[in-house]
Structure 1
């Protein structure tokens, strides 16, 4: 056997053994009431399949040799993003938030709820479009975070990977490592590549004394521009409406406006402030 083929075979067999071990660990002890989030892999996050693992020649004829290969289960990516959401600090409060429990107080909130439901139900089509994002803006306490989190929770349940970005917290973290290119890119790449990115409280704290924090605007342009070019959707909640975002930074704001075109709403009004009621 070719030495390289032998190495590949050993690697695959090693992965297969680990996957089987993970499955056994989850299956013991077993009882009749035990259930799994994923019945396919029994929460091991890997499955073992029979596939060609190398090719060998016999009498001048190439022959594919099949063997057990460990592959990621389809639940693995979903669980990865779910763990990130749970570790974000917001999940304990908002993990159970649903669209159903969002009670509109006026026509604006009715529109925002209808928009959220339409986005969820048609996301499989919307995600491939140029205008594949959604923005809910307005005053504190108007319910914009509730709605965007509820959308995320429902899409997670439907198998869509969602990554949560709390603007103020993440900006602080990114600026701390901005001079370490490896660390900076490692953190940024998570947000750039997520199937769906939820940006909560966009630009909060970025405007002081009427002036824009330029380093934060550069970071956000890098992130938004990447997702804009790759047609990767975002969910945005912010105290600032789209026009204000464009005023802050035309390049970033105009991209958000195009991505969210047809799916933006501004929630304002004293009756919308849940914290005052």
Structure 2
């Protein structure tokens, strides 16, 4: 009987898939610890947390239909500890699995670094461009900490570019919509209009803080 010398088909092992996924997280700025923030690991413990999860999940489901429209973004705002960052990152992870490129912008860390290097025009232009032009931008904790004119100017440059070019943003913020508008109406109103169909504003109430349960 003739011997079959054919080689078996190569099968991509789980290790390679995991490594590829980690590289995608690295590109996006999401670290391995944050990669645990999935929809399945999110615990719904009250009505507010249910609204956050349901809205974020609906945004994922409907993204293909809305991504090129004016209202193509997501805003989760309000009470600290209510699960906004968790669900924002869950959306990003979902997109990455679909080969939708997401860039994660931890607001305070990025703004501080940009301001420290503003004299370096090449660094500034390159960094700002990354956040202006990426396919989807996730801004975590928008306007966290002390805010000055430089913070607002940087965010306006990023948000206005994305607004004009209808590029989606995912925003988590511990402030109400009214408070967000009071920081800068130009930034706040653009975020609001882009996210109008997918907004969850969580009431300021320690009962909505998962960490204090």
TM range (shorter): 0.7 to 0.9
Match among 117, 132, 140 for residue 57 of structure 2: 117
* Alignment partner, residue 251 of structure 1: 186
- Does the Cα contact within 8 Å between 1:191 and 1:223 map onto a contact in 2? yes
* Alignment partner, residue 273 of structure 1: 209
Q: For residue 203 of structure 1, report the CA deviation from its aligned partner.
A: 0.2
Structure 2: give runs of 5+ residues left out of the alignment: 1-7
Q: Select the structure that is richer in helix.
A: 2
Which whole-Å CA distance do the structure 2 matches of 1:79 and 1:224 have between them?
28
Which whole-Å CA distance do the structure 1 matches of 2:88 and 2:172 have between them?
7
Task: Describe the superposition over 1:191-218 as per-residue Cα deviations: whole angstroms up to 9, x where unpaired.
Answer: 11110000000000134xxxxx111000
Q: For residue 263 of structure 1, report the CA deviation from its aligned partner.
A: 1.1
Which whole-Å CA distance do the structure 1 matches of 2:121 and 2:23 have between them?
24
CA RMSD in angstroms, aligned pairs only: 2.3
Aligned length: 202
* Alignment partner, residue 37 of structure 1: 17
Residue 91 to residue 156, structure 1, CA distance change in 2 (3 Å) = same
In structure 2, the residue corresponding to 1:231 is in which secondary structure?
coil
Q: For residue 115 of structure 1, report the CA deviation from its aligned partner.
A: 0.8
- Does the Cα contact within 8 Å between 1:136 and 1:265 map onto a contact in 2? yes
- Does the Cα contact within 8 Å between 2:48 and 2:208 map onto a contact in 1? no
Structure 1: give runs of 5+ residues left out of the alignment: 1-29, 44-77, 208-212
Q: For residue 188 of structure 1, report the CA deviation from its aligned partner.
A: 0.6
In structure 1, the residue corresponding to 2:36 is in which secondary structure?
coil
In structure 1, the residue corresponding to 2:200 is in which secondary structure?
strand
Q: For residue 187 of structure 1, report the CA deviation from its aligned partner.
A: 0.6
Query: Radius of gyration: which is bigger?
Result: 1
Q: For residue 91 of structure 1, report the CA deviation from its aligned partner.
A: 1.9
Which whole-Å CA distance do the structure 1 matches of 2:114 and 2:89 have between them?
23
Which whole-Å CA distance do the structure 2 matches of 1:146 and 1:196 have between them?
17
- Does the Cα contact within 8 Å between 2:25 and 2:32 map onto a contact in 1? no
Structure 1-normalised TM-score?
0.68
Structure 2-normalised TM-score?
0.87
Q: For residue 103 of structure 1, report the CA deviation from its aligned partner.
A: 2.1
Which whole-Å CA distance do the structure 1 matches of 2:79 and 2:22 have between them?
33
Residue 233 to residue 257, structure 1, CA distance change in 2 (3 Å) = same
- Does the Cα contact within 8 Å between 2:52 and 2:83 map onto a contact in 1? no
Q: For residue 142 of structure 1, report the CA deviation from its aligned partner.
A: 1.1
2:135 equivalent to 1:195: yes
Which whole-Å CA distance do the structure 2 matches of 1:115 and 1:238 have between them?
15
Which whole-Å CA distance do the structure 1 matches of 2:207 and 2:196 have between them?
27
* Alignment partner, residue 218 of structure 1: 153
* Structure 1 consecutive aligned stretches of length 4 or more whose deviation exceeds 6 Å: 30-33
Match among 110, 132, 147 for residue 170 of structure 1: 110
Q: For residue 237 of structure 1, report the CA deviation from its aligned partner.
A: 0.4
